[in-house]
């Protein structure tokens, strides 16, 4: 569930708290939270946090220490929260799967009820390769984006969700971006490529507004201090099926595209030829 704006918020809020801190203790208590080929988090003990960045939907914490330069990547999956607390001895949390003690007595904790997230530790190049993600939604050029769409028969909705094509978008922001760009989610990549510039511009507007609002909290997403984001009140199509479109008052519909629930306005986002837009689910 956390997408680019939520992860960017977590990164921005953690950066000031973690930069320069030394990791005194590191443990993953649920071994299935490790991504394949990860080194043990204990190799981070004694290392100092140099930078905190976002790469797609992953949080990337670069550490420098006795074992050289190591990256710690944390992906929040569907329900993950990366929480920061000033004191190490806080009461136990449910679904707490990893913790990093920090110099000064603070602690970073990974809570993830559904465990679709992961922890990955390794040399920077190995971590980058393991993440297997394409250019970021905030940095891909319109030309690169158009090239990635050309010749594809898959619907634009599915292509935007594919992290190898463009990294950072998930179900919420893809639906919001296509609404803003007035593009039907079932449009083929081939056709959508002609409007790549508009789609990308719309995605960036949606993403930057959502970052300003500190992300969207529908259920699980929390900022590192446990508070919620505020973009949920600004969603225009996602989760609004049956309600009136803010532009034209037509009823927002929910259909399945590529097996994902997809929200759109049937009047603002006209179906491409050959797509039966009246199908309801």
C-alpha span between 98 and 261 (Å, rounded)? 31
DSSP-assigned states of every residue in 178-233:
HHHHT--TT-BHHHHGGGHHHHHHHHHHHHHHHHHTT---SSS---TTS---SGGG
Give yes or no for residue 252 binding Zn ion (CB under 5 A).
no
CB of 268 to Zn ion, least distance (A): 3
Which residue in the list 17, 35, 57, 214 is annotated as catalytic?
Answer: 57
Half-sphere exposure of 154 (CA within 13 A, CB side): 13
Stretch that binds Zn ion, among 18-26, 150-158, 220-228, 268-276 (CB under 5 A): 268-276
Q: What SS3 state is found at 88?
A: coil
Which listed residue (11, 47, 63, 265) binds Zn ion by CB under 5 A?
265
Count of residues interacting with Zn ion (CB under 5 A)? 7
CB of 195 to Zn ion, least distance (A): 17
Backbone angles phi, psi at 92, to 5 degrees: -60, 145
Give every CB contact of residue 230 below 8 A, 6+ residues apart in sequence.
213, 214, 215, 217
Footprint of Zn ion on residues 19-58 (CB under 5 A)? Answer: none
Which residue in the list 128, 204, 260, 270 is annotated as catalytic?
Answer: 260
Q: Which of 141, 250, 204, 274 is nearest to 4 (CA)?
A: 204
Residue 2 annotated as catalytic:
yes
Name the residue nearer to Zn ion (CB basis): 214 or 236.
236
Stretch that binds Zn ion, among 138-146, 162-170, 225-233, 242-250 (CB under 5 A): 242-250
The position carrying tokens 């984006």 is 145
In degrees, rounded to 5, the angle at the alpha carbon of residue 226 between the alpha carbons of residues 115 and 176 is: 70
Name the residue nearer to Zn ion (CB basis): 164 or 267.
267
Q: Which of 183, 167, 166 is nearest to 175 (CA)?
A: 183
Residue 234 annotated as catalytic:
no
Stretch that binds Zn ion, among 127-135, 157-165, 208-216, 262-270 (CB under 5 A): 262-270
Stretch that binds Zn ion, among 20-28, 121-129, 147-155, 248-256 (CB under 5 A): 248-256
DSSP-assigned states of every residue in 123-167:
-HHHHHHHH----BTTT--HHHHHHHHTT--SBHHHHHH-TTTSB
Name the residue nearer to Zn ion (CB basis): 247 or 279.
247
Name the residue nearer to Zn ion (CB basis): 146 or 257.
257
Name the residue nearer to Zn ion (CB basis): 114 or 247.
247
Q: Determine the distance from the C-alpha atom of residue 120 to the mean position of all C-alpha atoms in its chain, rounded to a whole number.
A: 16
Give yes or no for residue 267 binding Zn ion (CB under 5 A).
yes
C-alpha span between 56 and 117 (Å, rounded)? 14
Give yes or no for residue 248 binding Zn ion (CB under 5 A).
yes
Give yes or no for residue 268 binding Zn ion (CB under 5 A).
yes
CB-count exposure of residue 248 (10 Å: 0-12, 13-18, 19+):
exposed
CB of 254 to Zn ion, least distance (A): 14
Stretch that binds Zn ion, among 52-60, 78-86, 122-130, 239-247 (CB under 5 A): 239-247
Residue 57 annotated as catalytic:
yes
Q: What is the set of active-site residues?
A: 2-3, 57, 260
By CB under 5 A, name the binding residues for Zn ion: 245, 247-248, 250, 265, 267-268
């Amino acid at each position: 569930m956390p997408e680019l704006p939520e992860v960017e918020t977590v990164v921005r809020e953690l950066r000031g708290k973690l930069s320069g801190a030394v990791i005194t203790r590191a443990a993953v208590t649920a071994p299935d939270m490790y991504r394949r080929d990860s080194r043990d988090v204990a190799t981070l003990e004694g290392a100092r946090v140099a930078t905190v960045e976002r790469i797609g939907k992953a949080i990337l914490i670069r550490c420098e220490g006795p074992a050289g330069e190591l990256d710690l990547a944390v992906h929040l999956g569907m329900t993950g929260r990366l929480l920061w607390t000033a004191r190490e001895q806080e009461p136990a949390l449910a679904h707490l799967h990893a913790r990093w003690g920090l110099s000064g007595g603070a602690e970073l904790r990974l809570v993830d009820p559904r465990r679709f997230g992961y922890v990955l530790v390794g040399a920077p190049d190995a971590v980058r390769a393991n993440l297997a993600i394409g250019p970021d939604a905030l940095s891909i050029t319109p030309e690169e984006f158009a090239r990635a769409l050309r010749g594809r028969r898959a619907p634009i909705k599915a292509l935007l969700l594919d992290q190898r094509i463009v990294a950072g978008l998930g179900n919420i922001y893809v639906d919001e971006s296509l609404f803003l760009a007035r593009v039907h989610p079932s449009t083929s990549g081939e056709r959508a490529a002609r409007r790549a510039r508009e789609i990308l511009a719309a995605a960036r507007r949606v993403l930057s507004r959502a970052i300003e609002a500190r992300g969207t909290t529908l259920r699980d997403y929390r900022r590192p201090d446990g508070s919620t984001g505020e973009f949920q009140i600004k969603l225009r199509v996602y989760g609004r099926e049956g309600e009136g479109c803010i532009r034209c008052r037509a009823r927002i519909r929910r259909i399945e595209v590529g097996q994902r629930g997809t929200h759109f306005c049937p009047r603002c986002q006209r179906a491409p030829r050959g797509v039966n837009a009246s199908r309801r689910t």
